[in-house]
Amino acid sequence: MLAIKRLVFNDSVIMLEKVAFDYSIPKTLLVKLGGDWQISAGLLPITEITAQLTSHPDITQINLSVSQELQWDSGLIAFLLKLVRECEQKNIQVDHKNLPQGAQKLLELALKVHEKNILPQETRESFFEKAGERVFQIYKSLCSVLDFLGDITVSFGRVITGKAYFRWDDFMLIVQRCGVDTLMLVCLISLLVGMILAFVGSIQLKIFGAQIFVADIVGIAMVRVLAAVMTGIILAGRIGASFAAELGMMESSEEIDALKTLGVSPVEFLVIPRVLALVMMMPILTIYADMMGILGGFIISVGMLKLNPIEYLNHTQAAVQLSFVWVGLIHSIVFGVIVSVSGCLRGINCERNAAGVGMATTSAVVTGITGIVIATAIITFICQILGV
C-alpha cells in the first residue's frame, strides 16, 4: 500500500511521505490518503503516484482509500482530477468508491465537465459528402415548406366554409400591430425615399432643363414598385420577426404541442390570423407609402428645384396610370404572403431553446427580404411580357 500524507511544518508544505506499498492484488496499486488536503495548504503534485506507475508498468488499476484523520476540500478534488486524467492517458482505471461520499460526487461532476469541454476531433468530409448533405438539407427544407403551404391552403378552405376556429380578438390585435402600429414608420421611410428619388433624379434632369420630369420618376417608381418593396422590407423586419419570435417561444414552451393535444390545429389557430392580417394591411400601407413618396418628391421639387406645385401634381397625375397602381397592389399582396408565411414557418419549425428562437427570428427576416427581391424580379418580368 502506498499511503500519501500531507506533512505541514511552519505553515508550509514540506514533503510527501510514503508509508508503505502494497501489491498483494495483481496489477493493482492501493493508495491511501491522509492528513490535510485543504486548498489553503497548497496543491500537491501527483509525481509520487506517477513514479510508482513508472516503476511498475504492469499496473492496470488504482484503488483509492482515506484515513480517518483526512481533512479535505476542493484541493483534494483537484489532485484526484489530475490523477484520473493522467491514468486515462495510460489506460489505468481509478476506483474511488472508498472516498467520502461528498468527494465522490464532486469528482464525478468535475469529470463530467471535463468530458464536455473535450472538443471532438474534426473529420474531413469529401466534396461529394458535403454536396450530398447540402442537397439533402435543401430537399428537407423544400418538403417542409410545401407541407406548411398545404396546411395553410387547407386551413384557408376551412375559413371560407366557416369551419375554421381562431379568436377574433387576437385577429384584431394582430391587424392593429400590422397596420396602425407600423403606419408611422412606413410613412417616414416612404417620405425619405421619395425625397431621395427626387434629389437624385434632379441632378441629371437639371442638365437638360427637364426638372419637371422628376414628378414622373417619383410617381411611377413609388406607385409601381418602390412603395410596395419598402413596405414589405419594413414589415419583414418588424412583423415577420415578431411572428417568428412569438411562435418560436410557443414552440419552445410546448404551447403548440398543447394545442395539438387538445385537437386544435396550430396552423388554423395561430398562422391563419397572422397571414390574413398582414395580407389585408399590406395594400393599405402601400397606398399610404405611395402618397408619402409622392409628397417627398413634391417637397424637394417645390422647395429646392423651385417647380410650380400645380404643374408638378399635373405631371404626376398624367404619368401615374391606374394599371401602375394595380401592379403595386399586386406586389403588396404577394409580399404580405411571403413575409407572413416566412415568419410563421420559421417560428413553428425552430429549435426549442433560446438560441433556436433567435435563429428563427433572423432566418424569418432574411427569408422574407430575399423572397421580396425574388418576387419583385418575377413580377416585373411578367409585367414586361404582358406589356403592363
68 with 173, same domain: the answer is: no
pLDDT band at 291 (very low <50, low <70, confident <90, very high): very high
Instruction: Give the mean model confidence (pLDDT) for residues 358-379.
Output: 91
pLDDT at 13: 31
Specify the pLDDT at position 129: 82
The per-residue pLDDT for 59 is 77
Domain assignment of residue 135, yes or no? no
| CB environment 146-156: b (16+ within 10 A), e (fewer) | eebeebbeebb
Same domain for 336 and 272? yes
- Report DSSP letters for 267-290, one per residue: IIIIIHHHHHHHHHHHHHHHHHHH
Residue 178 included in any domain = yes
Confidence of residue 290 (pLDDT cuts 50, 70, 90): very high
Strands 28-37, 2-9: pairing is parallel
Q: Is residue 92 within 8 Å of 61, Cβ to Cβ?
A: yes
Q: Is residue 361 part of a domain?
A: yes
- pLDDT for the residue 316: 87
Per-residue pLDDT at 228: 93
Residue 158 lies in a domain: no
Q: Are 22 and 28 in contact (CB under 8 A)?
A: no
Task: Please provide residue 9's backbone torsions phi and psi, each rounded to the nearest 5 degrees.
Answer: -130, 130
Assign 145 to helix, strand or coil. Answer: helix
Contacts of 198 (CB under 8 A, 6+ apart): 214, 217, 218, 296, 297, 299, 300, 301, 305
Average pLDDT over residues 104-128: 67
pLDDT of residue 15: 35
Q: What percent of the chain clears pLDDT 70, i.e. is strictly above it? A: 89
pLDDT beyond 50 at 20: no
pLDDT one-digit tens code per residue, 157-201: 888 887 777 788 888 888 988 888 888 999 999 999 999 998 888
**Residue of 13 and 205 predicted with greater confidence:** 205
In a domain, 147, yes or no: no
Q: How far apart are CA 364 and CA 139, in angstroms?
A: 19
In whole numbers, what is the pLDDT of the chain averaged over residues? 81
pLDDT the model gives residue 114: 58
| E-assigned strand segments in the chain | 2-9, 12-18, 28-37, 61-66, 71-72, 93-95
* CATH value at residue 67: 3.30.750
Residue 116 predicted with pLDDT over 70: no
| Residue 125 included in any domain | no
92 and 218, same domain (yes or no): no
Whether 238 is in a domain gets the answer: yes
Domain boundary among the residues 87, 117, 147 is at: 117
**pLDDT above 50 for 19:** no
3-class secondary-structure state, position 337:
helix
Q: Rounded to 5 degrees, what angle do the CA atoms 30, 31, 33 make?
A: 150
Quote the pLDDT of residue 115.
55
The pTM of the full predicted model, rounded to 2 decimals, is 0.66
Instruction: Give φ, ψ of 2 to 5 degrees.
Output: -105, 110
What pLDDT score does 372 carry?
A: 93
Q: Are residues 230 and 353 in the same domain?
A: yes
Q: Is the same domain home to 248 and 321?
A: yes
Instruction: Tell me the average pLDDT across 83-88.
Output: 80
Candidate from 37-46, 130-139, 351-360 with smallest mean pLDDT: 37-46
Residue 90 pLDDT grade (very low, low, confident, very high; cuts 50, 70, 90):
confident
pLDDT of residue 332: 92
Domain count along the chain = 2
What percentage of the chain exceeds 90 in pLDDT? 21
Q: Say yes or no: 100 and 171 in one domain.
A: no
Of 131, 126, 223, 232, nearest in space to 178 by CA? 232
Supply the pLDDT for residue 127: 79
Tens digit of each residue's pLDDT (9 = 90 or more) over 324-359: 899 999 999 999 999 999 999 888 888 888 888 888
Higher pLDDT, 96 or 21: 96
Q: Say whether both 224 and 293 belong to one domain.
A: yes
| One domain for residues 315 and 187 | yes
pLDDT tens for residues 293-331?
Answer: 999 999 988 888 888 889 888 888 888 888 889 999 999
377 and 241 part of one domain:
yes
**Is the pLDDT assigned to residue 70 strictly greater than 70?**
yes
Do residues 109 and 170 share a domain?
no
Q: What is the mean pLDDT of residues 356-383?
A: 91
pLDDT at 164: 73
Decide if 95 is inside a domain: yes
Residues 326 and 180 in one domain: yes
Give the structural domain span for 362: 165-386
How many Cβ atoms sit within 10 Å of the Cβ of residue 116? 6
What is the pLDDT at residue 295? 92
Domain check: are 107 and 208 in the same one?
no
Of 55, 86, 117, the position where a domain reaches its end is: 117
